[in-house]
Structure 1
Amino acid sequence: MVKFGYTILYVDNVENSIAFYENAFGFSRKFVTPENDYGELITGETTISFASKKLANQNLKEGFLESNLTNKPFGIEIGLITDDVPETVQKATSFGAVLVAEPIEKPWGQIVAYVRDPDGFLVEICTEI
């Protein structure tokens, strides 16, 4: 059996990234290493984790594409479910997220919006399907 355990985002500053997700979305930190090069949030069944780009470079000797707000987002997103999409988008942008797409109702009734976090990662904020 395989279980999806976590997603790790490679960031410049683990502490700042964790603080953004705590403030913008109300998550709680599970832990941060003493070196501040890795940390996890309590987000439900699947954990969002953060690793410093320095640590990532130690693990991925041939490098990786770095996320930032200057380039287009990667073709992947983090999906966060909420009962109030407009309020969550407003809160996220007040803590530094960049609005990509205003909340819109999809034909199946789901409300969906997109922001980019301060590290440039794409975040979908939506209601449950």
Structure 2
Amino acid sequence: MTVSISHVHVLVDDPDAALAFYRDTLGLTVRNEVSQGGFRWITLATASQPEIQIVLSQPHAGRSQEDGDALAALLAKGELRPLQFSSDNLDETFEKVAGSPGADVVQEPVSQPWGARDAAVRDPAGNMVRIEQS
């Protein structure tokens, strides 16, 4: 039996701003986009790992009002789990990400005590995005 990761869901409050960040800044490719009931789901993937897709969706999409409100509150506080990417050129990637609209620099590139060299930003929705040198 083989099990692998296929999709990772990321909550965003503004699909257009998130799309600009993940597609235009990080270079992910849009694989699918669905609108339903006033909400959008946008599926993206990297060229190097097209089998692992990131799904951008809004907190209230497909959820009760109460659950959507709870997730929206966590998103607004920046309390959702981070996304972690790797790059073959951290400095170049960081410069592009740090200069993108809506991105908030949390940590410039630094060598960590555990051996990784990484940086951190918040996407336009406030999600933590960490990028590590591969």
- Whichever residue aligns with residue 44 of structure 2, its letter is L
Give percent identity, aligned residues only.
27
Give the Cα–Cα distance (whole angstroms) in 2 for the partners of residues 6 and 47 of structure 1.
Answer: 5
Q: How far is 1:14 from its partner?
A: 1.9
Q: Which of these residues, 37, 42, 48, is aligned with residue 39 of structure 1?
A: 42
Specify whether residues 91 and 103 from structure 1 end up closer, same or farther in structure 2 by C-alpha distance, changes over 3 A only: same
Cα shift readout 1:37-76 (whole Å, capped 9, x = no counterpart): 1110012242111112331xx32454133213xx3x3262
Q: How far is 1:9 from its partner?
A: 1.5
- In the alignment of these two chains, the number of paired residues is 123
SS in 1 for 2:106: strand
1:59 equivalent in structure 2: 63
1:99 counterpart = 2:105: yes
For normalisation by structure 1, the TM-score amounts to 0.81
- Whichever residue aligns with residue 74 of structure 1, its letter is E
Question: Can you give the 5+ residue segments of structure 2 that lack an aligned partner in the other structure?
Answer: none
Give the Cα–Cα distance (whole angstroms) in 2 for the partners of residues 83 and 121 of structure 1.
Answer: 22
SS in 2 for 1:33: strand
Q: CA RMSD in A?
A: 2.1
More displaced, 112-121 or 102-111? 102-111
SS in 2 for 1:112: strand
Question: Can you give the 5+ residue segments of structure 1 that lack an aligned partner in the other structure?
Answer: none
SS in 1 for 2:79: coil
More displaced, 5-14 or 90-99? 5-14
